[in-house]
Structure 1
Amino acid sequence: MTLNLKRIVPVVLSTLLLSIPASAAESAIQAAVDHPSRSDVNKTRDRYRNPVETLSFFGVTPSSHVVEISPGAGWYTEILAPLLREDGQLYAAHFPASSSSDYAQRTLQAFKAKMAADEIYSNVKLTEFAAADGVEIAPANSADVVLTFRNLHNWYNQGQEAAMLTAFHHFYTALKPGGVLGVVEHRLPEDRLQTDWQASGYFPQSLAIELAERVGFELVATSEINSNPQDSADYPRGVWTLPPSLRLGEQDRDRYLAIGESDRMTLKFRKPQQ
């Protein structure tokens, strides 16, 4: 039997990383998670999003220069801003100001208002991201870590593999040599690849790895931090059937609340040293 070391090594590394005792960086992340500026509603989702373990896995420290891709309403921004405020730098790569989408404009304006309402966000630099040419998420070769949470399916639906590759190119350009790309995404079971999965909100882990590697990233490790074995990824309204969206309203609500939020891949890539 021939062992595929390319796939085994990341899993071994993941296991080793998770066995290391809590570090100073992990303690700082915990303090940011516990920061009083965070909203109570967002705190209730910590048990599904596991922010301390996730950011620690990606190697984020208080002195990191981090790009958060498509921060939406700012769930992770609430943690990253206090964490990086003194010694690091956070770039929030939001929707382009020129977007013609009403949803994008509303979300962007709400995010700007959030940033202006609290001094804790005073060091956040707002930049732009789109899975298209002509944007700069951060100065080239400046970022230690680029983070994207539950976004891959959106880019794929916008422009299939071409849009995905463009997005990964933006990340690669912004990262320093040796910098980390952290990806969390709703995970499609590999046995459903031949189904009509594109509009489900889920994405194949194998395809995410393939596309990142085509751009030049190296897969360093995978983790099951954000996994949910109760999630079958096969629902009437896709991933939005589950909480927090609960698109079916009261229909089978207790069942979906019992399942919890989606099963998620957690992938750590690195831009090679040059």
Structure 2
Amino acid sequence: MVRLSVALFSVAAAVVPAAMVYAAVPDYVAAAVADTSRPDADRATDVNRKPAETMAFAGVKPGMIVGEFYPGGGYFTRMLSDVVGPKGHVYGMENLRWDDPKSDKAVIDATKGNVSIEAAAFGTVRFPQPLDLAWVTQNYHDLKIAKYGVVDTVAFDRGVFNALKPGGVFFVLDHEAPPGTDTAGIEKLHRIEKALVIKEVTSVGFKLVDEGTFLRRPSDDHTLPIFDKKVQGQTDQYALKFVKPGGPIKR
């Protein structure tokens, strides 16, 4: 675990359904971002990805059980591990077709004993204990791309709903797409409309409780693929916080 004294960051105000305002970044989140053991390549992208604001908005806290979908090289995994600490755990669910043992090994090392990663068919929702937080960043759109594995995204959302404790959070962050973008467009652009994500996720019982605007970028007109050098790293992204009804998380 990281034990660093770090000044708090400020979080930009969000446009939220119930005029909610989220607080400044907690010290345990700031410390996780400042952890000098993080790879240099990860730290170099922080200015674009805003991990402190992202984790503060999602509400990750010490002691939480987190299910992270598609951790890849572990950009967020390492920081989530630091935040949840020894009393918490991060369960990574990787796509079997994407699984990279070298990346997994880099994440599950001597300093990250509270991380477990499993590779399974794309869209699998399987965790050994109920979750406080389910997390998918920049990958919900991939669930619509058949070459990665055919997924019924509504069934996926229902699986996430069932995997969470009452009051648990489903956090989704992705790249905005033009209105009416179909499946072919999602595959071409690697973007998905915020409205479609909200429609699907709320259809299984989740309530949308907050929307973060800290990665919204009006300069991105949504027409270019996210890997185009003109917009790569600077795409317009939304952050959505859904809650499973049933009261607060009990610990």
TM-score, reference length from structure 1:
0.76
C-alpha distance in 1 between matches for 2:145 and 2:155:
13
C-alpha distance in 1 between matches for 2:244 and 2:119:
21
1:23-42 equivalent positions in 2, closer than 5 A? 26-42=26-42
How many pairs are equivalent?
231
The 1:90–1:129 alpha-carbon spacing in structure 2 relative to 1, beyond 3 Å, is same
C-alpha distance in 2 between matches for 1:63 and 1:83:
8
The aligned counterpart of 1:50 is 50
One of 134, 145, 148 as aligned partner of 1:157: 145
The 1:195–1:153 alpha-carbon spacing in structure 2 relative to 1, beyond 3 Å, is closer
One of 93, 109, 131 as aligned partner of 1:143: 131
Identity of aligned residues (%): 26
Please state how far the C-alpha of 1:161 moved relative to its aligned partner: 9.8
Paired residue secondary structure (1:240):
coil
Q: Is the 8 A contact 2:144 2:153 kept in 1?
A: yes
The aligned counterpart of 1:268 is 241
Paired residue secondary structure (1:90):
strand
The 1:182–1:136 alpha-carbon spacing in structure 2 relative to 1, beyond 3 Å, is closer
Paired residue secondary structure (1:227):
coil
The aligned counterpart of 1:252 is none
Paired residue secondary structure (2:235):
coil
1:103-140 CA distance string (max 9 Å, x none): x24x2x12222134x322112122345444xx443135
C-alpha distance in 2 between matches for 1:115 and 1:58:
21
TM-score, reference length from structure 2:
0.82
Task: Mark the runs of 5 or more structure 1 residues left unpaired by the alignment.
Answer: 1-9, 243-255
Q: Is the 8 A contact 1:131 1:167 kept in 2?
A: no
**Match of 2:236, as an amino acid?**
D
Question: Is 1:241 aligned to 2:228, yes or no?
Answer: yes
- Could you say which structure has the larger radius of gyration? 1
Query: More helix per residue: 1 or 2?
Result: 1
C-alpha distance in 2 between matches for 1:139 and 1:70:
17
C-alpha distance in 1 between matches for 2:119 and 2:155:
14
C-alpha distance in 1 between matches for 2:219 and 2:53:
20
**Match of 2:16, as an amino acid?**
V
The 1:128–1:218 alpha-carbon spacing in structure 2 relative to 1, beyond 3 Å, is farther
C-alpha distance in 1 between matches for 2:87 and 2:33:
17
Question: Is 1:126 aligned to 2:125, yes or no?
Answer: no
Q: Is the 8 A contact 1:213 1:219 kept in 2?
A: yes
Please state how far the C-alpha of 1:222 moved relative to its aligned partner: 0.9
Please state how far the C-alpha of 1:143 moved relative to its aligned partner: 0.6
The 1:130–1:222 alpha-carbon spacing in structure 2 relative to 1, beyond 3 Å, is farther
Q: Is the 8 A contact 1:131 1:163 kept in 2?
A: no
The aligned counterpart of 2:160 is 171
C-alpha distance in 1 between matches for 2:72 and 2:41:
15
CA-atom RMSD in angstroms = 2.5
Q: Is the 8 A contact 1:180 1:270 kept in 2?
A: yes
Paired residue secondary structure (1:52):
helix
C-alpha distance in 1 between matches for 2:233 and 2:143:
25
C-alpha distance in 1 between matches for 2:120 and 2:68:
10
The aligned counterpart of 1:72 is 72
